[in-house]
Amino acid sequence: MSELSIQDELGVSILRALAAMVESGELPSAVTLPDAITLDRPKNRDHGDYSTSVALALAKPAGLPPRNVALAIQKHLEADASLKGVLKAVEIAGPGFLNLTLDTASQAEIVAAILSAGEKFGHGKVLDGVSINLEFISANPTGPLHLGHTRWAAVGDALGRLLSAAGAKVTREFYINDRGNQMDLFGASLRAAALGQPTPENGYHGGYIQDLATDIVAQHPEYVGLDEAAGTAAFRDAGYALQLAQQQSVLETFRTHFDIWFSEKSLYENNFFNHCLDRLKEQGHVFMDGGATWLRTTDFGDDKDRVMIKSDGAHAYFASDSAYYISKRERGFDVLIYMLGADHHGYVNRLKAIAACAGDDPEYNIDVLIGQLVKIMEGGEEIKLSKRAGTIITLEELVEKVGVDAARYTLIRYPVETPMVMDVDLLRSRTNENPVYYVQYAHARICAVLRNAADLGIAYGASVFKPELLVHERERELMGSLAEFPRMLAHAAQLREPHRIARYVEELAAVYHRFYADCRVLPMGDEPASDLHSARATLCQATAQVVANALGLLGVEAPEKM
RNA sequence: GCGCCUGUAGCUCAGUCGGAUAGAGCACUCGCCUUCUAAGCGAGUUGUCGCUGGUUCGAUUCCAGCCAGGCGCGCCA
């Protein structure tokens, strides 16, 4: 079997047909042929296994009626010897669509391909060799992770898995804002709580502050006696360590792993920031004004120039952004993905401007994903998200209520640019409204069938598989869906849209359930085992593999029993 | 004012190299377990794809303008 999938093979054959048509004068030589042919899966099964509108697209430049173009392509495909045994029929429909129907045995090769590739089935090379830095969450270490962070935890982690599967070399990074006056405020709030004093103005509230303060005092009773400056610093550092450890621990239980926890403070160690500043100066976009040091980001589409070093000598947050960008690039990453909340979308232009100021190509080196904030409904009312008010749903609480699988799946299955409403009551009720159960059930169901097959002594697997037996419409439908997985994965990776995986696997589960309802897999009663039983069991095995692979990309378990 | 996102069925939402009759779940009605997991399957009902124009063989999809909602525009972090 060739390296090419059947879709690819058909696409290449059509391109060959087009080239031959130019050769023979059936198409004017002035017509520019497409680089690749896209084959769609028609919604209507009467339209074959794949369809293409290439004839429609070429009709105009060729100055020919679309049907004539389609007829010529059809003629060449039917004469193509390499498609014997692959393509069963080529039909022309509507204004000039070409509908292709595959030969059964050829279509069923996908089953063997899946079993052969196993966990790797679907993985591809569209991002081969690309070194990607994927930064997400990057919450302040001044409190627990809330639901907004949780969306990024789920989506970011799934995106990391997806990009890796597409061939990219991915490093997941969490940026710790461990510098600046928010940290000092955090320290002052903890100290106040420990001393039983009122929370400072704009300080941090919430029960966790009191809890942290209590823990710190238990470990370091001497902190209570320190003066304000020393005490604030001591509580800040101790609170930071505890809070960061808490975030790290809860993320691990959420199956979200980071390769690097990057400290903002570290950007100012070992003269690194000055090194970055020098690099930016070399590019000529740094200037002084009013005693401050600026980056002229307006050279590259930003609304206004940005201060890096304030006139009082302090580093503005933008200084960190700039240095952090350069750090990532110097560590060898080609593509930097930033996942930001909608309230930070104003940063897109300035981030891209940093890249341009550093002499890079913002369109290639920076990829910013903007996620709309999550709203939470409980008891029919919206809960406002406010880290400081203390009325937050944390990642831990969400997991406690609905479990890791349901939480991750629900958060991933919507495009991030869609504002999302999570109904806590609904998720807590564990009804079937959550499609994760639907998908997991399909997997568990298949596993049950395969267990029974083994008990009955039915052999299944690539070695006994007879592809020509799978002629039932439901079987063909199922194999068609399975064959879509690699292409879907590549597309989702390129678009950075993990939600497509969830949508795909839901459809696959639906197709499997239909197959299951119409096609008996195992022998009934005393019926003797046949090759068809084996073939169907093998198809089930391949389906379970793809469902498991898809759920694996989402970080959701594929249970063998439910 | 400028910028970004959103507007699709009663509700929650899918649908981006433009494609054939616009989909799913929930909800509602009715069927299917004396054999593989009924957490399932099947049938039925629901639409000015925000509005108006443009591009073309074809627009929910691309472009422009408008309407509505959300968010952002600091020598804060």
In a domain, A39, yes or no: yes
Judgement on whether residues A439 and A542 belong to the same structural domain of the protein: yes
Q: How far is the C-alpha of A303 from the C-alpha of A305, rounded, in Å?
A: 7
Question: Measured from the CB, is A370 under 7 Å from any atom of strand B?
Answer: yes
Judgement on whether residues A440 and A529 belong to the same structural domain of the protein: yes
Å between CA of A119 and C1' of B20: 36
- Reading the block at residue A507, the tokens are 């459809």
Residue A61: how many CB atoms within 10 A of its CB? 13
Show the CA angle centred on residue A145, arms to residues A143 and A151, nearest 5°: 155
In a domain, A439, yes or no: yes
Does residue A220 sit in helix, strand or coil?
A: coil
Strands of the A292-295 sheet, one edge to the other: A286-289, A292-295, A306-309
Q: State ipTM.
A: 0.94
Judgement on whether residues A195 and A85 belong to the same structural domain of the protein: no
Give the per-residue pLDDT at A2: 42
- Closest alpha carbon to A238 in A145, A141, A173, A146: A141
In a domain, A334, yes or no: no
Q: Which residues 415-434 of A interface with strand B at a CB distance below 7 A? A: 415, 417-421, 432-433
Q: From A102, A126, A147, give the residue that closes a domain.
A: A102
Residue nearest to nucleotide B32 (CA to C1'): A517
Q: What is the helix (H) or strand (E) element at residue A131, kind and residue range? A: strand A131-135
Q: Where are the beta strands (DSSP E) in A136-269?
A: 169-176, 260-263
Give the per-residue pLDDT at A346: 86
Pair type for strands A335-341 and A366-371: parallel
In a domain, A235, yes or no: yes
Q: How far is the C-alpha of A485 from the C-alpha of A228, rounded, in Å?
A: 60
Q: Which residues 150-169 of A interface with strand B at a CB distance below 7 A? A: none
Judgement on whether residues A98 and A185 belong to the same structural domain of the protein: no
Range of the domain at A245: 181-253
Å between CA of A242 and C1' of B14: 41
The 3-state secondary structure of A181-195 reads HHHHHHHHHHHHHHH
With CA of A35 and C1' of each nucleotide, the nearest comes out as B17
**How does pLDDT run along chain A (562 residues), one tens digit per residue?**
445 788 888 999 999 999 999 999 898 888 888 888 888 888 887 888 999 999 998 988 888 888 899 999 999 999 999 998 899 999 998 888 999 999 988 899 999 999 999 999 999 999 999 999 999 999 999 989 988 899 999 999 999 999 999 999 999 999 999 998 889 999 999 999 999 999 998 888 888 899 999 999 999 999 999 999 999 999 999 999 999 999 999 999 999 999 999 999 999 999 999 999 999 999 999 999 999 999 999 998 888 999 999 999 999 999 999 999 999 999 999 999 999 988 888 899 999 999 999 999 998 999 999 988 777 776 666 665 544 445 567 888 888 878 899 889 989 999 998 888 777 777 666 666 678 889 999 999 999 999 999 999 999 999 999 999 999 999 999 999 999 999 999 999 999 999 999 999 999 999 999 999 999 999 998 899 999 999 999 999 999 999 999 999 999 999 999 8
Residue A541: which CATH number?
1.10.730.10
In a domain, A536, yes or no: yes
Does residue A498 sit in helix, strand or coil?
A: coil
Judgement on whether residues A541 and A442 belong to the same structural domain of the protein: yes
In a domain, A450, yes or no: yes
Residue nearest to nucleotide B36 (CA to C1'): A449
Residue A10: which CATH number?
3.30.1360.70
Judgement on whether residues A90 and A196 belong to the same structural domain of the protein: no
Helix axes A531-554, A435-455, angle to 10 degrees: 140
In a domain, A16, yes or no: yes
User: Count of domains in chain A?
Assistant: 3
Å between CA of A407 and C1' of B24: 20
> Amino acid identity of A371?
G
Judgement on whether residues A92 and A186 belong to the same structural domain of the protein: no
Å between CA of A408 and C1' of B69: 28
| Strand B, nucleotides covered by protein (CB < 7 Å) | 2-6, 12-17, 19-26, 35-42, 56-58, 70-77
Q: From A253, A270, A296, give the residue that closes a domain.
A: A253
Q: From A228, A253, A278, give the residue that closes a domain.
A: A253
Question: Measured from the CB, is A382 under 7 Å from any atom of strand B?
Answer: no
Residue nearest to nucleotide B5 (CA to C1'): A417
Judgement on whether residues A549 and A437 belong to the same structural domain of the protein: yes
In a domain, A513, yes or no: yes
